[in-house]
Amino acid sequence: MLRFLSLKVGVMIAGALLVLTGAVAQSVSTQISTVSDPVGDATFNAPAFQDVVRVQVTKTASGDFELLMEMAGAVPVNPPMPPPGHSEIWWVWNFDLDPTTFPAGYPYFKSTGAAEFGVAVRWDGAESAGTAIDRRPLLTGEEAIITPVTFSIDGKIVKADLPYTLIGDVPASFGWFRRYRRLVGSSRAGRRPPSCRYVAIFTP
């Protein structure tokens, strides 16, 4: 069961949208959507460093997003590739800015995905990188825009920064979901453990 910690936030459960309001008032200038998840419920025998226990999305007064993911265990300096993955590991924050569109293409190649924007902290077996993926151009037949972003991995905490200059204006209410991926080669095929979908409501 998911436990909601702050702000106004909702979760899609069996097609029903539940909107909850946190008890702690948030400043309009900095708004936070935070969700926690029990330790030990990760699927596909995921190790502790891929067992997500808390995810936080913070929108600053300038429109930047500060992203945080807390794992059940510390991320190793050289994380092993959990089977069946042998190419890359991704910790991902996805933004569903328009529920009526489903861009087809990177990083899902021919498959469609609900997210118009994503931020990933990636490990390829040699080094880590932070990447912003603007999938909105896919809707008009263009290529996704991939841009490096600032990130950090410190013990159990994975962070990334998404500047306003990359994502621009966003709706006051939009869906977001976290995911970790185990990639098995250039096809990007592989197991993608189920995501949890939330709706953040930010006051303009």
pLDDT at 5: 32
For the chain, domains (ranges, CATH) are 3-201 (2.60.40)
More confident residue, 42 or 8: 42
pTM equals 0.76
Q: Tell me, what's the pLDDT at 112?
A: 78
Which of 44-48, 98-102, 159-163, 192-196 has the weakest average pLDDT?
Answer: 192-196
Lowest-confidence region among 26-35, 81-90, 123-132, 175-184:
175-184
- Distance, in Å, from the CA atom of 76 to the CA atom of 120, rounded to the nearest integer, reads 17
The mean per-residue pLDDT over the stretch 25-51 comes to 76
pLDDT tens profile 150-187: 999 999 999 999 999 999 999 888 888 765 544 444 43
Better-scored residue on pLDDT, 8 or 75: 75
Q: How confident is the model at residue 38 (pLDDT cuts 50, 70, 90)?
A: confident
Over pLDDT 90: what percentage of the chain? 42
Q: What mean pLDDT, rounded, does the chain reach? A: 75
Residue 193: band (very low, low, confident or very high) from pLDDT cuts 50, 70, 90: very low
Confidence of residue 84 (pLDDT cuts 50, 70, 90): low
Q: Which residue has the higher pLDDT, 43 or 70?
A: 70
Rounded to the nearest 5 percent, the helix, strand and coil shares of the chain are: 5, 45, 50
H or E, element range at 164:
helix 164-167
- What's the pLDDT at 122? 92
pLDDT given at position 138: 94
- Mind giving me the DSSP string for 91-151? EEEEEE--TT---B-TTSTTSB-S-SEEEEEEE-SS-EEEEEEE-GGGGGT-PPEEEE--E
